[in-house]
């Protein structure tokens, strides 16, 4: 077996702590924003690029691949030429909804944007 890992491989957890393991999966700057966009109904690559945060295309492609590999997102091909896919949350991904909802509530109450 090669000592080199695929850059999209799920890494070994840093610890057995559930919070740490969750952050290993979705704790980067972009992953939860991709999940947020899926919750809001975005399905195609170009739709994610329209978000105001301005995720770079290479990072978006990487995060989508990681989320698919982790079973949080499923991809379905809708065109062969050129190859195009749509994304949707899996059951595992849908279970992130309450976490996102709690983050929205906290952000509305405490973020700089909300004036608090």
Is residue 86 one of the residues assigned to a domain?
yes
pLDDT the model gives residue 111: 85
Q: What is the pTM of this model?
A: 0.84
Question: Total structural domains in the chain?
Answer: 1
Contacts 24+ apart (CB under 8 A), 33-41: 34/60, 34/63, 34/64, 34/67, 34/73, 35/67, 35/72, 35/73, 35/89, 35/93, 35/96, 35/100, 36/100, 38/73, 38/87, 38/88, 38/89, 38/93, 39/89, 39/97, 39/100
Instruction: Check which CATH number belongs to the domain holding 47 and give it.
Output: 1.10.10.10
pLDDT of residue 75: 98
Domain range enclosing 81: 29-110
Residue ranges in the chain modelled with pLDDT below 50: 1-6, 8
Q: Does residue 93 sit within a domain?
A: yes
Read off the pLDDT of residues 70-98 as tens digits, 9 standing for 90 and up.
Answer: 999 999 999 999 999 999 999 999 999 99
In a domain? residue 24: no
């Amino acid at each position: 077996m090669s000592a080199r890992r695929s850059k999209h491989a799920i890494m070994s957890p840093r610890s057995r702590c559930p919070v740490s393991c969750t952050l290993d999966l979705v704790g980067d700057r972009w992953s939860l924003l991709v999940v947020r966009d899926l919750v809001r109904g975005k399905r195609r690559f170009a739709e994610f690029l329209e978000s105001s945060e301005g995720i770079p295309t290479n990072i978006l492609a990487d995060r989508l691949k990681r989320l698919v590999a982790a079973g949080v997102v499923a991809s379905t091909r809708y065109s062969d030429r050129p190859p195009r896919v749509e994304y949707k949350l899996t059951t595992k991904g849908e279970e992130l909804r309450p976490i996102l909802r709690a983050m929205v509530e906290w952000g509305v109450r405490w973020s700089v944007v909300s004036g608090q």
